[in-house]
Amino acid sequence: MRTITYRQALNEAFDEEIQRDPNVFLIGEEVAEYDGAYKVTQGLWKKHGDKRVVDSPISESGFIGMAVGASMLGLRPVCELMFWSFYTVAWDQIANNAGMVRYMSGGLINCPIVIRGPANGGTNVGATHSHTPENIMATIPGLKVVCPATARDAKGLMKTAIRDNDPVMFMENTMLYGLEGEVPDPADGDFTIPLGVADLKREGVDVSLIAHGRSVLIALEAAEILSAEHGIECDVLDLRSIRPLDEEAILETVAKTSRVVLVDENKPFCGVSAQIAALIQEKAFDDLDAPVQRVCSIDAPAIYSPPVEKEQLPTARRVIDKVLSII
């Protein structure tokens, strides 16, 4: 199987879906003529033209609002936020309009929109550009939330998200864009991954590490060290999507290992891991041999200092320490 970057996998997904469906178009700041701030849309404007790849003004509320309206009339917009932190200025359009229209219309109006871009810390761009709002988006009934960790998952989930009739919030990570991984070749057929299906990235018997996004890679790193240095074998479950959430896969790994460490770049208060911990306590309490542990970002605004911010985020060492505390 060929190897391409996370960035290339997304680009390929857009290219294929634009060609497959005349209603799909990309819109955002610098996505067209300048190939995107992160070069995720590179070459697509030259290939598909102004009507399929659209540069917008610097107005998230404006172009997301327009895209919501377009989606209600049958188009399938894919909106790029240069940083997911900028969702706040389009919150009404996302939560009140995109999230509510199918319910408020009695199912008569769909909103097939994808809002995508990087949602992560670790790049030293300050507190206002480093939010991870997947937990916030997941609180809104009607919104779907996706957080791929690998190039393969990024492509397969993006193609599914574009085809979905509900609004999908697609959370990427700038630190993953250059990461290479195996992705099926388009010549081998249409490749998609369903939303709401977790993926067991590593098998073990002693502890379950449950994560999403880049935290999956941190969990895998910790699992390899735990195996080599302590003989502890970890399941590493990649959630892939936050809403819908694969509860069955979570409960299955908990029943298998009886010990859980949740790895999550969200802040700990009301984060994704808090929701999963509640789920495990409610539905798998009798399977546990130790309290559920969490490794999250330190509960403060994103720190600008590069060495300090690196420690603010989940690290393999912090995951290892939590695992050792419950063995």
Domain ranges of the chain: 3-188, 199-326
CA distance 9 to 3: 10
- Mean pLDDT taken over the chain: 97
CA distance 57 to 305: 31
Averaged pLDDT for residues 96-121: 97
Averaged pLDDT for residues 204-219: 98
Q: Between the CA of residue 51 and those of 28, 29, 40, 59, 102, what are the distances in Å?
A: 13, 15, 18, 19, 26
215 closest CA partner among 187, 178, 173: 173
- The model's confidence at residue 1, banded by pLDDT at 50, 70 and 90, is confident
Owner of token pair 């959630």: 239
- The model's confidence at residue 311, banded by pLDDT at 50, 70 and 90, is very high
- Told to judge if 131 belongs to the known catalytic residues of this protein, a careful annotator would answer no
84 closest CA partner among 39, 147, 24, 34: 147
pLDDT, tens only, 7-63 = 999 999 999 999 999 999 999 999 999 999 999 999 999 999 999 999 999 999 999
CA distance 109 to 262: 37
Please say whether the beta carbons of 216 and 149 come within 8 A: yes
CA distance 193 to 255: 25
Q: Residues 12, 17, 29, 60: which is the catalytic one? A: 60
Q: Report the percentage of the chain scoring pLDDT > 70.
A: 100
Q: Given strand 24-28, what is the order of strands in its sheet? A: 53-55, 24-28, 76-80, 114-118, 168-172, 144-146, 241-243
Is the domain spanning 3-188 CATH 3.90.740.10? The answer is: no
* pLDDT score recorded for residue 221: 98
106 pLDDT higher than 90: yes
pLDDT, tens only, 255-310 = 999 999 999 999 999 999 999 999 999 999 999 999 999 999 999 999 999 999 99
* Whole-structure pTM value: 0.97
Averaged pLDDT for residues 67-80: 98
**Tokens representing 233?**
């074998």
Q: Residues 129, 224, 247, 252: which is the catalytic one? A: 129
Is the domain spanning 199-326 CATH 3.30.420.310? The answer is: no
CB neighbours (10 Å) of residue 225?
A: 16
- Told to judge if 60 belongs to the known catalytic residues of this protein, a careful annotator would answer yes
Owner of token pair 């009886």: 258
CA distance 72 to 112: 7
95 pLDDT higher than 90: yes
Q: Report the percentage of the chain scoring pLDDT > 90.
A: 100
3-188 and 199-326, same CATH topology: yes
